[in-house]
Structure 1
Amino acid sequence: MDKWIELVKAKMSDLKVTQEVLADRLGMSQGGVGHWLNKRRQPSIQDMNRVLRALGMDFLEVAMVIREVLQDDEPCLSHKYNPYFRYPVSEWREPMQLRDGELAVYGKPRFELTDYHAQGAAFWLVVVGDAMTAPTGVSIAEGMMILVDPAIVPEPGKLVIAQWSDSTEATFRKLIEESGQRYLVPLNPTYPKALYTDDCRILGVVVQATAKF
């Protein structure tokens, strides 16, 4: 919410758009716009996107986000005030691979925006299947978009994207450790867990999941 307000106010200043003008574009009262920008009321996701479109920022979209909080240092000013980064969307059946530190991209890639500043050559995947849909707690449903960062260390407890040596498909699971052995575990209890062996390699750690409306 705070970043959305900062972005909207900065754009209004650049365009010299007053609250009255913005309210007129939205078909609402100036007081209503003022309540949003002063945090007296919280707009819906739909209203937040309406404001972005009214200010000519159709290329941005507000979405519900579930993400892991990383204990990093305070971001630099350029990241704080320009917090949007874009990463390519990969195919589930052939997730992107790193070659010489760069992503191997085939054809014309599609990109999605996020405020997450990746440590590595990150990429998006659209979740296929319900193996990570849980009855309670963290649940990642089919169709949600997940951001994968290959530079994050895949420690037990992380959600990871793995790939078996005899398959080109991505496997989305939680990495856990029991009695010194690691397993790839689904959040959906109806699916079996798998022993993590040398036949499997982890492509990256899932750092963000989004559902668009």
Structure 2
Amino acid sequence: MKNLRIKNRRKELGLTQLDIAEALNVSKASVSLWEKGDTSPKNMHLLSKVLKCDPDWLVSGKGNPEKNTVTPLNKLQGQYPVLDWVQAGNWSAINELAYHEADHYPCPVKCSDKTFLLKVRGQSMAPIFNEGELIFIDPEVDALNGKYVVARLDDENEATLKQLIIEDGHKFLKAANPQWPTPIQPVNGNCTIVGVVIFAGRLF
């Protein structure tokens, strides 16, 4: 079934299928398939960022098409700390003082009590994750193929944000930015998955 909301919203913003394809680093044919209804929840979430609309509206047509930047308090879950990338790379050794001194924010989606936040830095994951955005990471979520994860490489003292790719039993960490110098890294027992990204957004 065609998803006319995608096409109509795209036209409202003056965007072409090619504009969306380039923003998300996919083919124009993929965008065409999405408008015909052949897409996944992950793709709809990415589309909602480009189309600047509520992902729930994009999927179901319910609610307001305009992106809601303020999440109702009754939908927020707890308060979770903003860590730096070095702390995230050494999650098991974070002391209580560092945890309690950190800024805390509520999570808009269901998550475990081990959830924490990081502020995106650099351009390796653009345009999916942009510098300055806050990402919520849940160590309790299974790191499955295609998930965006925070990982620690054994020869580095801080964490990194990448997409986890699993093919034929082999694991790789992939950068979203096609211009990144090391677009894909093999994982050969030298990497620990810290947690999975469950939500991303910018504070206003």
Normalising by the smaller structure, the TM-score range is: 0.5 to 0.7
Structure 1 pair 121–42 and aligned structure 2 pair: CA distance change class (3 A): same
1:51-99 per-residue CA deviation (whole Å, 9 max, x = no partner) reads xxxxxxxxxx826xxxxxxxxxxxxxxxx95633210010123216136
Structure 1 pair 174–156 and aligned structure 2 pair: CA distance change class (3 A): same
- Partner letter of residue 171 of structure 1? T
**Residue 166 of structure 1: how far off its partner (Å):** 1.7
Partner residue of 2:104? Answer: 111
RMSD: 2.8
Partner residue of 2:85? Answer: 92
1:93-119 per-residue CA deviation (whole Å, 9 max, x = no partner) reads 3216136xxx64443121012232313
3-state SS, counterpart of residue 142 of structure 2: coil
**Residue 182 of structure 1: how far off its partner (Å):** 1.1
1:130 aligns with 2:123: yes
Q: TM-score, normalised by structure 1?
A: 0.56
Partner residue of 2:138? Answer: 149
Percent identical among aligned pairs is 28
- Partner letter of residue 159 of structure 1? Y
Distance across 2 between alignment mates of 1:201 and 1:42: 39
Partner residue of 1:186? Answer: 175
1:62 aligns with 2:62: no
1:201 aligns with 2:192: yes
Contact residue 97 and residue 104 of structure 1 kept, 8 A: no
Contact residue 184 and residue 196 of structure 1 kept, 8 A: yes
Contact residue 92 and residue 128 of structure 1 kept, 8 A: no
Contact residue 75 and residue 109 of structure 2 kept, 8 A: no
- Partner letter of residue 124 of structure 1? L
Runs of 4+ in 1 over 3 A off after TM superposition: 39-45, 80-84, 103-107
- Higher share of residues assigned helix: 2
Contact residue 166 and residue 172 of structure 2 kept, 8 A: yes
Distance across 1 between alignment mates of 2:193 and 2:64: 43
Q: TM-score, normalised by structure 2?
A: 0.59
Distance across 2 between alignment mates of 1:204 and 1:40: 31
3-state SS, counterpart of residue 177 of structure 1: strand
Gaps of 5+ in 1: 1-38, 46-60, 64-79
3-state SS, counterpart of residue 190 of structure 1: coil
